[in-house]
Structure 1
Amino acid sequence: MTDVVSGRDPYLIISSDCHAGLPTERYRPYLETRFHRDFDEFLAGRDRRRAEMTRLGVRNEAFADRWFRENEEGLRGGWDTARRLRELDGDGVAAEVVFPDADAVDSRTAAPFGVGLGLSGDQDPELGMAGAQAHNRWLAEFVSEHPERHCGVALLPVTAPVDRVVAEIRRARESGLGALMIPAMWAGHEPYHDRRYDPVWAAAAECGMPVLTHSGAAPRHEYGEHLGIYVSEVTWWPARPLWFLLWSGVFERHPGLRFGVAESGCWWLPNLLWFMDRLYLGAHGGKKLSPFAELTRPPHEYLDRQVFVCATNTKRRELAQRYEIGVDNILWGSDFPHPEGTWPDTRAWLRRTFHDIPVAETRRILGLAAAETFGFDAAKLAPLARRIGPTPADLGQSADQAAVEASWARSRESGRHWLTGGDFPLTGPDRDFPRPEVTR
């Protein structure tokens, strides 16, 4: 897609990470009746689960009370379409990628049987699939009211029997959903390098549905009452499948598969990519390892071809690393309506974060890259963007873009420094060590 708008035009903003979900008890009509008794038991345990969250420090009573009191009307946008559009418009967001669980404070909108952001391989297979399908049915209705503005993310308990998983992919696609969320953890099931999942990856690629993980699930039973351990690891778990898929050749075998990591930042990616590229290209520390037979190209090429990061509430530190990550691999998100996101002050957040970033790159990160990844029609969204989107001037960006571009020239030229002269070609004791051919 070519950006043909002028430097002064409003931004087309697409949030790659938003959330929606019914108040949990209202999922009943979307569940098969044979699961209603189990659903009643799940509902009965809500107060106990909330009390446990408070005890562990996951739920701050004072914050929760203030959050719901001050944002009562806007929070209805978690399931009320008309209210949601008002909130998106107010934030300048023209379109969104919709994950589950609108309420991230009290879990009042948890998907049945906890298969939303807590989706993991340890759920009961039958209940897990039933809960996922109930949410997916509702979500398909929800996004159908304004399909040009929403890409619904179907829940996919991928560790269930493969034929059922593939069938749910196709059913979700036919119902109008556009992406798939798999568990970040497989909890005793086969890891994602296992060939049993190949039909799943193939179906996702065939249907044009990106596969994503999202932060939330973690081995909480290991942490005790030490919440800092959870906070330190919760963004690591959704990133972990990336190297399972890469090194096992999943991206090689399924070049049409797109994979994304959501709400886990992207600060971790430059060092990981540097490390993986060096291993593949024959750095000294990898000489004793067997050849990476499943790969025909270095990791950064798979990343640029197939991987993206829904970098919710993107930080200044991450933008400073964008030439190592890849500008087109960073997709901004508001996290609406979660309190750790930018809503309801998105415009102010954008001004603080993007004020010195080149306009052309800002357009890619804030919307155009997401449009291409998730299949939004940018032309259809353009009139709305012109009406609600902030302009470069609104973000404090200079009209002298030549000067802004020049200020970043050195970082842009260095790019991935390990490929542009920092680490290779190898010299000294490594010079005779054979390494794979690098495709360019």
Structure 2
Amino acid sequence: MSDKHEAADGRHDFDFLHGRWQVRNERLRQRLAGSEDWDIFHATQTCEPVLGGLGNVDAFLSDWRRPGQDEDFQGMTLRLFDLPRRRWNIWWAGSHDGVLEPPVGGGFADGMGVFEGELEHEGRPVRARFVWSGIGANTAHWHQQFSVDGGATWETNWHMWLRRRDEDGRLAHEDAVIELRRYTLKPGRRDELIELFEREFVESQEAVGMHLIGQFRELDDPDRYTWVRGFPSHALRAESLQGFYGGPTWKRHRDAANATMIDSDDVRLLKPARAHTALPAAARERAPLGDGGEDGGTICIGVCELHAPAQDGFLERFEREFAPLLSAAGLELLGVYVSDDTPNRFPRLPVREGESVLVWFARCADAGAPPRLAAQPQWRAAVADALLAELKAAPQLLRLAPTARSELRG
């Protein structure tokens, strides 16, 4: 059989799972009882191929203990590709009883794997479904569902969100699309939101596939909070947003977060202007929870509102006339982005649509760098010239102080 035919028959569909993963688990405490109470715990999972790639075995080591157990829960999965039937069979066993459960079977279509079979739960027959989705180079999502009515309705009772780490042991990221989010907060409540955000919303978002790039206090408005997060693709953005905003962490803390806000809809979807203009990887891991952190310096985000897409001419003008002026004022250009007009695949969170912008990020020598830039005669001349054509208004220069746990720092 040719390599091309082997790739098409499904035997390599689980190759993405090989290697070592960090896993966030959300497990329903009581199944088939109408419960909305979830355990959240973490695990590592290591998966290796067997039988020349016709199967794999994984080891799942968690930090969670089942009620009545004295040791952390462990699990293992055996997956085998049935060559004659061109389908996968999956067996699971846990350290609570050491019994290999009956298999679920199925395959992949359109990037999603669905596997079903007949199991028991507490002596009660159930139809079980395993679903794999959100699959990227460094992300994957598995969830389990049970049905007691032959598949007419399903209850989801377990999510596993898988993330890879790079060679340095840090979460691996691919930011093909980012969100620039600016919130208007109720007077005097910014620090309250920041404390909640840094405690509850950093690791919980990254665990489901996002990248928390930076969180900031705006220096020129005490009631503005700005933050940036990235995603590998629009499809994975939709999946990870559903995972977070439909999950237990947001449900537990959303009322407290929303109580600090007046408006949270000032959101721009952006993509790198060119392949080489994405923000660089952070120089180091973000500060751990509770670390006051050193002075994060100052970051400047420049927002250029345009009459037409930046690619129609302003991008070249920015690179030719604007970017060379930054260093003289004490700004180091880090990244350049333009509007991403891909339809929003998670309408629950609105974004600004139908607007063209170019957005740049810079590290500042000091907090006075953006005002110095705006006062430069050359900058003012370049702005005046661009206002006759591409620019709708003078570029907005946001002066930002990174929070203690912001990855992007000055």
Shorter-chain TM-score range: under 0.3
Higher helix share: 1
TM-score, with structure 1 as normaliser: 0.23
TM-score, with structure 2 as normaliser: 0.24
Between 1 and 2, higher relative CO (CA 8 Å, sep ≥ 6) is seen in 1
